[in-house]
Structure 1
Amino acid sequence: MAGKVLIIWLWACVNVCECEPAMFGEVSSPQYPQPYPADILEQWDLEVPQGYQIQLTFNHLDIEPSPNCSHDSLSLVSDKKVLGKFCGQSSTDRFHPGHKPILVPGNHLQLFFQTDDSNPESHIGFNASYQAAGCGDPKPLLNGGVQFISGSNNEYHSVIEYYCNQPYYTFEGTPNVTYTCTEDQRWTTNDNNDNIPPCIPECGLNTEVYFRGRVFGGMPARSGQIPWQLFHKRQTIGGASLISDYWALTAAHLVDGYENTTMTWLGGTTNTRVKNPVIMETEKIIIHPKFQRVGTRDQNNFDNDIALIKMSDRVPLSSNLRPVCLPNKTHEHVMEGMMGTVSGFGGFEKGLKSEILHYGHIREYSSEECVFGDMPVTDNMFCAGDDVQHTDSCRGDAGGPLFLPMLGYGTKEQRYEVRGIVSWGPPECGNKMSKSFYTKVQNYLDWIRETMAKN
């Protein structure tokens, strides 16, 4: 049998170089609605966008009937599998699909129309329309994923559930989010909301929350105990607290003068000499607008000593690197009469610098008990330390966290919060005057959240 092949691409072409699959279309046999010619083989390749299924509906089908459609036939092929081979003139014929839509498993469909030269009478062939069925691929979720709860192939009535990558990310205020594929080809929730809530980092947890460890007294930190602690050892030595998977909180005086440079911060480690810390580079350094700027010169006013650091890439969270929570505002003393913990890589014994992350437990004092020269003291700072154990922050700890509850007593219900930022104190540390001033984080919550949202 002599034949010919005609391939018809039913795509909605944007231009010569870029084509996008059509959401719907129509296909007919040659010369339709006139009788089709004898002795031909023609092929159509149909495609709808990825994530949808093709739904094919025959508006008319009149092909010469024969046993097993051995003479003239229309074959439907998807993913190299024959879905059907049709002929006949009415829906009562064995090889006639009728007017019921045919739902193809995927988004590609091939039609092969073949005739021989034995057609004893005229038949007009077929006319069919197709459209994209279902809701398409669900939107991706950053730091999370999606799974089918019921149904498949994004079809009508399918139900999907979004999830966040545990244990480092979670939805805020809800354990899971489900969507249903509706008649209008949209993934929607019960409240008809198309917006998928973001996965936010879990804050204020460390390895001890999961393994119920306890800390007694100050000592070198173990891996995962203070996973929000960051460290900078070039240009200026100091610390910072990771508060999201992009942002960190530090003291303004530590980064003053370095806003137009790229600072490199280390995280995920308790030893500054290890070969594999997580290295983070800054994209932005935003100093509080009311901080008295002096560049790299000596500071004589530490009011509003707070700055935000945005990293150039998303921080890869792990058990050794995860954010601390921001506090709520309180009308009581910042530390609410409890002991807190301060941590850093600064001095720990008569001016010696440490390569190991240390921490100590301290309590809050009144400003009258912490007078160091004529430096101004404002309501944006508070004093803390420990006269008994001589525990104190020291040179090289600036910018680091003072957090509550005391290390070892955090739980999933009472998570660690950064209440203070190491700011300033007496020239010497570790003596009977073991007290320093800390920036009061709760006074800057609105500025922190607004700055992060705008940048």
Structure 2
Amino acid sequence: MSAMAGKVLIICLLWACVSVCECEPAMFGEVSSPQYPQPYPADTLEQWDLEVPQGYQIQLTFNHLDIEPSPNCYHDSLIVVFDKKVLRKFCGQNSTDRFHPGDKPIVVSGNRLRLIFLTDDSNSKSHMGFTASYQAVGCGDPKPLLNGGVRVINGSNNEYHSVVEYYCNEPYYTFEGTRNVRYTCAEDQKWTADDSKDNIPPCVPVCGMNTEVSFGARVFGGNPARPGQIPWQLLHDSYSSGGASLISDYWALTAAHLVDSYENTSMNWLGGIIDSKDKKAVIMEKEKIIIHPNYTRVGEGKKLNNFENDIALIKMSARVPLGPNIRPVCLPNKTHEPVMEGTMGTISGFGKFERGLSKILRYGHVQEYPPDKCNPGNVPVTENMFCAGDDVKRVDSCAGDGGSPLFFPMLGYGSKEQPYEVRGIVSWGSSKCGNKYSKSFYTKVQNYLDWIRETMANN
């Protein structure tokens, strides 16, 4: 076997004998031949695996190179290997030599380089070898964005002057108040926002959008919903009945009386369905239930005669996978106008229908009535409640609809300019729902906006 063939064999064997280092790659470092600056020894085989953190490019700069010159660096050589391929082979003593690297650094597209130093016994003179430095260049990988991503606009390998743009997973997520979020790899090797803002804005769920427009009748005997029409409607799965409204990809809004005494009990909710028996439902497990602190608790199975502050929040144990059939509804703005602004809104739920609870999600349209047009019985009515129904079409919420939404505008009239908002939560009403003149009472959501937002932010 020739000396050169032996060298090739040794190089090939090195790929199978690489030691693994568990340490964190350095941003920079130095490497030099054995005994540098003293002359290097004959019959030498040395290998260095240089690595900088993932996402950066590695740059190699030779500070000094003095290796015995020979045609094609046959005798002594320094070999630079990248991506399992020989990138360059160096020898010589000055930058005018054909095989000398000169003063220009070597930059590759990855974060690893391998150096192999080979010498034989033919060196008739004393040569010092080499010394080199390496460093990470570029800005590294841009920070990841939850519910979104990042794409390259200009440049490559996160190098200087590269431009990236963040985006949200539309149509279910969007940036709040902005559309384009671009960062440039600056001279200080940091991603710098074009608008000088350091923090990447979060992707927030798009609320109040559904997949189609339709018109319908009432919940009690009303029209069945179509897939994606009311994607924020949730169904109480662990117990007999009840609903909630998804208001983010973690949180849902419901009535306090529905979840009173269940804070320490397992509870699942179903979403993305219009059939309560649908086996493809998105199953959401609650992490915690937070009932309004001023709600008067009575406990399970006891009669409730006061529905003041009948509102609660449910936090799910995992992020809800948003899609065409499961999306949040918007929270309303505070207003001194009537809850439904003098027009009609829509109620929905899986509540009582003819002989029992409805297996199908139904909806109907209702209008707001002044308190003197409603019959509260012996239950006190406060400014945190309102009543709604439809005397003409006998539209009303019913048993089993508790916690479900009253949303505005009326189903079929939502748009990007006026997304659907949950204005009320089904709270209480007459046991004879569906009869003429029967109306139900709803928790006025706009009166609890501060509590809702603070609770979500703190939990």
Shorter-chain TM-score: which interval? over 0.9
Offset of residue 234 of structure 1: 3.5
Q: Give the whole-Å Cα distance in 2 for the aligned partners of 1:19 and 1:254.
A: 54
Offset of residue 10 of structure 1: 11
Deviates more, 1:94-103 or 1:186-195: 186-195
Q: Give the whole-Å Cα distance in 2 for the aligned partners of 1:383 and 1:418.
A: 15
Q: Give the whole-Å Cα distance in 2 for the aligned partners of 1:114 and 1:263.
A: 68
Q: Does 1:374 align with 2:378?
A: yes
Q: Give the whole-Å Cα distance in 1 for the aligned partners of 2:105 and 2:297.
A: 72
Q: Does 1:28 align with 2:38?
A: no
Report what 1:402 is aligned to.
406
User: Residues 58-96 of structure 1: CA distance to partner in whole angstroms, max 9, x if unpaired?
Assistant: 111111222222222111101112221111211122211
Tell me which of 317, 322, 332 is aligned to 1:317: 322
RMSD of aligned C-alpha atoms? Answer: 1.9
Instruction: Give the conservation status (yes or no) of the 8 Å contact 2:26–2:53.
Output: yes
Instruction: Give the conservation status (yes or no) of the 8 Å contact 2:296–2:308.
Output: yes
Deviates more, 1:239-248 or 1:51-60: 51-60
Q: Does 1:354 align with 2:358?
A: yes
Deviates more, 1:132-141 or 1:222-231: 132-141
Deviates more, 1:290-299 or 1:247-256: 290-299
Q: Give the whole-Å Cα distance in 2 for the aligned partners of 1:259 and 1:215.
A: 37
Q: Give the whole-Å Cα distance in 1 for the aligned partners of 2:211 and 2:255.
A: 26
Deviates more, 1:35-44 or 1:265-274: 35-44
Q: Give the whole-Å Cα distance in 1 for the aligned partners of 2:307 and 2:30.
A: 73
Give the structure-1-normalised TM-score.
Answer: 0.94
Offset of residue 120 of structure 1: 2.6
Q: Does 1:50 align with 2:54?
A: yes
Instruction: Give the conservation status (yes or no) of the 8 Å contact 2:91–2:100.
Output: yes
Q: Give the whole-Å Cα distance in 2 for the aligned partners of 1:284 and 1:276.
A: 24
Q: Does 1:182 align with 2:182?
A: no
Report what 2:395 is aligned to.
391
Offset of residue 233 of structure 1: 4.1
Report what 1:126 is aligned to.
130
| Residue identity opposite 2:339 in structure 1 | V
Q: Does 1:331 align with 2:333?
A: no
Gaps of 5+ in 1: none
Ranges of 4+ aligned residues in structure 1 off by more than 4 Å: 1-11
Q: Give the whole-Å Cα distance in 2 for the aligned partners of 1:9 and 1:128.
A: 21
| Residue identity opposite 2:208 in structure 1 | G
User: Residues 142-181 of structure 1: CA distance to partner in whole angstroms, max 9, x if unpaired?
Assistant: 1111111111111111111111111111111112311111
Q: Give the whole-Å Cα distance in 2 for the aligned partners of 1:152 and 1:194.
A: 22
Instruction: Give the conservation status (yes or no) of the 8 Å contact 1:363–1:385.
Output: yes
Instruction: Give the conservation status (yes or no) of the 8 Å contact 2:294–2:309.
Output: yes
- Same amino acid, percent of matched pairs: 74
| Residue identity opposite 1:336 in structure 2 | E
1:37-436 alignment, distance < 5 Å:
37-208=41-212, 213-218=213-218, 219-296=223-300, 297-349=302-354, 352-436=356-440
| Residue identity opposite 2:336 in structure 1 | H
| Residue identity opposite 2:214 in structure 1 | R
| Residue identity opposite 1:118 in structure 2 | S
Q: Give the whole-Å Cα distance in 1 for the aligned partners of 2:226 and 2:148.
A: 29
Q: Aligned with 1:445: secondary structure?
A: helix
| Residue identity opposite 1:338 in structure 2 | T
| Residue identity opposite 2:328 in structure 1 | P
Q: Aligned with 1:321: secondary structure?
A: coil
Offset of residue 184 of structure 1: 1.7
Instruction: Give the conservation status (yes or no) of the 8 Å contact 2:33–2:40.
Output: yes
User: Residues 185-214 of structure 1: CA distance to partner in whole angstroms, max 9, x if unpaired?
Assistant: 211202443321111111100001xxxx33
Q: Give the whole-Å Cα distance in 2 for the aligned partners of 1:10 and 1:127.
A: 22
Instruction: Give the conservation status (yes or no) of the 8 Å contact 1:78–1:105.
Output: no
User: Residues 344-368 of structure 1: CA distance to partner in whole angstroms, max 9, x if unpaired?
Assistant: 000133x532100010000000011
Instruction: Give the conservation status (yes or no) of the 8 Å contact 1:10–1:25.
Output: no
Instruction: Give the conservation status (yes or no) of the 8 Å contact 1:242–1:323.
Output: yes
Offset of residue 102 of structure 1: 1.1
Q: Aligned with 2:24: secondary structure?
A: strand
Offset of residue 32 of structure 1: 0.5
| Residue identity opposite 2:315 in structure 1 | K
Q: Aligned with 2:323: secondary structure?
A: coil
Deviates more, 1:114-123 or 1:241-250: 114-123
Deviates more, 1:87-96 or 1:241-250: 87-96
Q: Aligned with 2:89: secondary structure?
A: strand
Report what 2:455 is aligned to.
451
Q: Aligned with 1:207: secondary structure?
A: coil
Gaps of 5+ in 2: none
Instruction: Give the conservation status (yes or no) of the 8 Å contact 2:348–2:406.
Output: yes
Q: Aligned with 2:189: secondary structure?
A: coil
